[in-house]
Amino acid sequence: MPDFRDILLKLCNREDLTRDEAADAFLHIMSGNAAEAQIGGLLVGLAAKGTTVDELVGAARVMREKVIPIDCGGEAIVLDTCGTGGDIRHTFNISTAAALIAAGAGIKVVKHGNRSASGNCGAADVLEKLGLKLEISPQSLCRCLDRAGICFAFARAHHPSMKFVAPARSQLGIPTIFNLLGPLTNPGRARHQLLGVFAPELTDRLAAVLRELGSLRAWVVHADDGLDEISTIGPTRISELNAGHIRTWTLDPKTLGIDYARLSDLQISSLDQAAESLLSVLKNTPGPKRDIALLNAAAAIFVAEKAADLPQGLLIARKSLETGAAAKALELLIAESAA
């Protein structure tokens, strides 16, 4: 690889790294060969300059090479609803609810997630609260996926090489490229994704990265109100990847007959409230939380090629709740994780 000092000098000059340079740099730091000062310099340099598609692709490919994989048994369609986090809006776990509703609709879901870094609780926190065993073997996850239609890939258990960069990330205390890499490195190699991002300029960029990494269909979303989900508070910016093409457009929930909510309708202030909110949605309790979960599930169902359009996705999502299939998916997920 090129001298690591040369890479840092390029970043100091606000020059973009090539795809190969980024891959070399991340292989160096994620193999335990870099000093913390070098890791910090790389992460700060990229954050200050802004990451490019090539830099993200190069780094993501290294993380994918080092991930502990989940064998999905040749499933044609595997879905993930993992986002970047970082919107700091303290909403309940919308993408987790959407994943369970999609699983209840018969879609295989490898839900990638972690503990919270910025909110009240991440997907791992709320699912553990409800009884999920987080750290289980890849073989057990395959069984879980087969029997429950969904498994939870706990990021910390699948990315052991992150231990080499964790101290520097923690000491920096700022968002870095790793905030973007998580959703790009699903251990089940999901090629259908609903991916929420924390800034509008990232939707096109992440869609382009997913295309380069081999994704087939994806929606990368950011709401005008700041949510890293498809919002019911107002319109959402969507960069849609389909058959190698990317188009960016805006979705207003009112066009689907969904009234605007208030942010306070979607927020929680504790782990207990997060668990209660998720269970309430799965019990099909009417209200703003169910509405936003249904909207995001409808998009996930569409992205996973189960629906011809978003209105049909909504019908399928509602059926998943009304029949109890989504709630059953959670029940089986928890049971299989402990088996």
Exposed, middle or buried by CB within 10 Å (0-12, 13-18, 19+), for 171? exposed
How is residue 152 annotated by DSSP?
Answer: E
Average pLDDT for 99-124: 87
Predicted local distance difference test score (pLDDT) of residue 63: 96
Domain 79-338 has what CATH class? alpha beta
Average pLDDT for 290-315: 98
Q: Give how far the C-alpha of residue 227 lies from the chain's centroid of Cα atoms, to the nearest Å.
A: 13
pLDDT digits (tens, 9 = 90+) for 157-199: 999 999 999 899 888 888 889 989 989 999 999 999 999 999 9
Q: What is the DSSP string of 46-93?
A: HHHH---HHHHHHHHHHHHHHS-----TT-S--EE----------B--
Checking if the pLDDT of 301 tops 80, the result is yes
Predicted local distance difference test score (pLDDT) of residue 119: 53
- Over pLDDT 90: what percentage of the chain? 86
- Residue 309 confidence class, pLDDT cut points 50, 70, 90: very high
Contacts 24+ apart (CB under 8 A), 219-227: 219/193, 219/194, 219/195, 219/299, 219/303, 220/195, 220/196, 221/194, 221/195, 221/196, 221/197, 221/299, 222/196, 222/197, 222/198, 225/263, 226/87, 226/89, 227/87, 227/89, 227/91, 227/196
Predicted local distance difference test score (pLDDT) of residue 86: 67
Rg of the chain over Cα atoms, rounded to whole angstroms, equals 19
Q: Where are the domains of the chain?
A: 4-66, 79-338
**Rounded-to-integer distance, Cα 77 and Cα 64, Å:** 19
Average pLDDT for 268-288: 96
Predicted local distance difference test score (pLDDT) of residue 339: 80
**Rounded-to-integer distance, Cα 185 and Cα 171, Å:** 23
- Residue 1 confidence class, pLDDT cut points 50, 70, 90: low
**pTM for the full predicted model:** 0.94
- Residue 90 confidence class, pLDDT cut points 50, 70, 90: confident
Predicted local distance difference test score (pLDDT) of residue 3: 85
- Residue 85 confidence class, pLDDT cut points 50, 70, 90: confident
Q: What's at 262, amino acid-wise?
A: R
Average pLDDT for 48-74: 94
Name the CATH superfamily for 4-66. Answer: Transferase, Pyrimidine Nucleoside Phosphorylase; Chain C (1.20.970.10)
Average pLDDT for 137-142: 92
- Residue 87 confidence class, pLDDT cut points 50, 70, 90: low
For 329, residues 6+ apart whose C-beta sits below 8 A from its C-beta are 100, 103, 104, 148, 149, 150
